[in-house]
Every structure is written in C-alpha cells, then in structure tokens.
Amino acid sequence: GAGVSQSPSNKVTEKGKDVELRCDPISGHTALYWYRQSLGQGLEFLIYFQGNSAPDKSGLPSDRFSAERTGGSVSTLTIQRTQQEDSAVYLCASSPGKGQEKNIQYFGAGTRLSVL
C-alpha cells in the first residue's frame, strides 16, 4: 500500500479482555516498530523488528504485551488481560532498513485503545 496501515482505528474493550492490533507496513520496508503514545507524553518505544533478526522487545512494559511479525510483513501487537493504564494510542512505523533513508520512520495513523 501507499502508507502504513493500522487497524482497527479505534478499539474499546473491557478490563481483563485480550486485544489484537494490526499493522501493515509499507511494502518492502524491512524494519517495523511499535510505539505507545499516552496523552501528554512522548512516544514510548515498545518493540522493533528488523528482517529475520530476533526482535528487540526491550520496550514492552509487561509480559501481557507481545508482538509478532509474520512473513516479514504484517505485525500484530497483542495485549492480554488489558488494564485501564493500557489505554493509549498505539502507533506502528516502518522504515526501509537500507539505503540513505534506512532509518526514516513512516508512521501509521495509530489505534486508539480505550480500556473501560
């Protein structure tokens, strides 16, 4: 596609439920990032995928958070047993991973998660 696509754009869930957020990166981009943006806060790094390398999961806040990237393209961020403090906008970004602009990140519009 033309840009990074995220779905759903909005998700309302009840505390304790599991949610899955999806990210379709720009075709050909080898690097994919997940961030969390809370109100009035800077973006918080969650996880980074680069090609077939093991992902950098150092930003995941707890073991309730996990992410996969299947076939080096689409990624899913899963939050288990959601808590109210998980409410935020979850942003996905991809970058070419090579060339002059290898680290320029292109962001999706995000998924706004509200945990009631």
13, 55, 56, 73: residue in contact with other proteins (rule CB under 8 A): 56
Binders of other proteins in range 26-45 (CB under 8 A) = 31, 33, 35, 40-45
Does residue 109 touch other proteins according to CB under 8 A?
yes
CA–centroid distance for 106 within its chain: 12
Does residue 48 touch other proteins according to CB under 8 A?
yes
Does residue 80 touch other proteins according to CB under 8 A?
no
Contacts of 105 (CB under 8 A, 6+ apart): 33, 93, 94, 95
The burial of 88, by beta-carbon neighbours within 10 Å (0-12 exposed, 13-18 middle, 19 or more buried), is given as: buried
The residues that touch other proteins, with contacts defined as CB under 8 A, are 4, 31, 33, 35, 40-45, 48, 50, 56, 58-59, 91, 93, 103-110
